[in-house]
Structure 1
Amino acid sequence: MTFRQMNAKYYEPAAQWTMIFGVIFLCQPWVEILHRYGLTIIIIGLVAFLITSHVPPEPEAEEEEEEELV
Structure 2
Amino acid sequence: MTFQKALKAKFDKGAREHNQPWDLDHIDARSEMQDELLDLYNYAKLYADIDRTTALEIMLWAKDMWHTLNE
TM-score by length of 1: 0.43
Q: Whose helix fraction is larger, Structure 1's or Structure 2's?
A: 2
Report which of the two structures shows the higher radius of gyration computed on alpha carbons: 1
Higher relative contact order (CA 8 A, sep 6+): 1
TM-score by length of 2: 0.43
